[in-house]
Amino acid sequence: MQHTIHRHHHHFAWDKSIRPVHEIDPGSRLRFEVTDSSAGQLKPSSTAEDVARLDFDRVNPVNGPVFVKGAEPGDTLEVEIAGFGPQNWGWTAVIPGFGLLSSDFPNPYLKTWDLSGGRAQFTDGIEVPIAPFPGTIGTALPEEGPHSLVPPRQNGGNMDIRHLTKGTKLYLPVWVQGALFSVGDTHAAQGDGEVCGTAIEAPMDIDLSFKLHKGKQIKEPQFETPGPLQAGPPGRGHFVTTGFGTDLLTASKKAVSYMIEHLTMKYKLSDVEAYALCSVAVDLKISEAVDMPHYLVSAYLPLNIFK
């Protein structure tokens, strides 16, 4: 019988001293009941004022940790994403002081989504394909803790890789006895870059299978994805803006700013609506990294979201 790691078995930091909530043998499969990244602070009835009141000490909880028997430093833990439970609702927020264009968007914003029909409708005529994945996933760090869950790290962490969908095999380095695996921050959809700082943050169940590769050390996470990399129906193409700069941050900001301009002009969205839509649907790609000191970043808007 498959064991479930319930939503109350969560923690708010990477810390190897946290006691495991469950032990498994390699080859096991577990279900995790994942809460949203606000840890329940935001609800379907919440408003932008609730975003401004978020307690950042209680964001990005992860379920676990799980002790994998036989896992030792120098091993690699393989985690296969077997599937997701249904998504009922989600939220996307612009949080003051957070996000790629935080200086341009100082005020809180909140969009709540009804996902119960298997759809993610942004506005009339704009629908984002649902493609669930865990935003935060990893093993315990070797250093003494606690360490924040907010950034990505060598152990995985808050990587926000939208391609960690069903069927993907994620390989994580083992730094401590038992690996001490945790997962959380599930998303119903996201664009590469998650530019406003949030995706469609949605509570949901996730089923994971575990294998252990003894004596095979990797320095940072790697993964295999079955693809395709683009969610939703094919054939509509993309609209793309580009931005150049002497660093990737500047180039990324320019590409997203130009995309926001395009969305407001062509689709009559407000600036903040366009910013949020970029975060859940637009993919940032590094198009040029060799002609230094200039870098080029492209922002890809999938046209299949427009009905």
Average pLDDT, the chain: 96
pLDDT of residue 1: 60
- The structure tokens listed for 185 are 């921050």
Q: pLDDT of 262-278, one tens digit each?
A: 999 999 999 999 999 99
pLDDT of residue 104: 97
pLDDT (mean) for 143-169: 96
Q: Please state, for a pLDDT cut of 90, what percent of the chain lies above it.
A: 93
pLDDT band for position 145 (50/70/90)? Answer: confident
pLDDT of residue 236: 83
Domain ranges of the chain: 3-224, 238-305
Q: Please state, for a pLDDT cut of 70, what percent of the chain lies above it.
A: 98
* CA nearest to 155, candidates 170, 176, 171, 140: 140
What is the rounded distance in angstroms from the CA atom of residue 207 to the CA atom of residue 160?
18
pLDDT (mean) for 181-209: 98
Residues of 128-165 as b/e, b for ≥16 C-beta within 10 angstroms? bbbbbbbbbbbbbbeeeeebbbbebbbbbbbbbbbebb
Least confident range of 29-38, 54-63, 225-234 = 225-234
Residue 49 has pLDDT above 90, yes or no: yes
Q: At what angle do helices 248-267 and 271-281 cross, to 10 degrees?
A: 120
pLDDT of residue 232: 65
Three-state SS for the chain is: CCEEECCCCEECCECCCCCCCEEECCCCEEEEEECCCCCCCCCCCCCHHHHHCCCHHHCCCEEEEEEECCCCCCCEEEEEEEEECCCCEEEEEECCCCCCCCCCCCCCEEEEEECCCCCCEEECCEECCCCCEEEEEECCCCCCCCECCCCEECCEEECCCCCCCCCCEEEEECCCCCCCEEEEEEECCCCCCCCCCCCCECCEEEEEEEEEECCCCCCCCEEECCCCCCCCCCCCCEEEEEEEECCHHHHHHHHHHHHHHHHHHHHCCCHHHHHHHHHHHCEEEEEECCCCCCEEEEEEEEHHHEC
Q: Is 238-305 assigned to CATH 3.40.50.620?
A: no
pLDDT (mean) for 196-204: 98
Q: Give the alpha-carbon dihedral of 188, 193, 197, 201, to 10 degrees.
A: 10
Q: pLDDT of 120-135, one tens digit each?
A: 999 999 999 999 999 9
Residue 48 has pLDDT above 80, yes or no: yes
pLDDT band for position 181 (50/70/90)? Answer: very high
**Cβ-based burial of 183 (10 A; exposed 0-12, middle 13-18, buried ≥19):** buried
Residue 301 has pLDDT above 80, yes or no: yes
The domain 3-224 is classified under which CATH number: 2.60.40.420, 2.60.120.580, 3.10.580.10, 3.40.50.720? 2.60.120.580
| Contact present, 301 and 239 (Cβ < 8 Å) | yes
CATH topology of 3-224 equal to that of 238-305?
no
Please name the residue that has the structure tokens 């493609």: 131
pLDDT band for position 292 (50/70/90)? Answer: confident
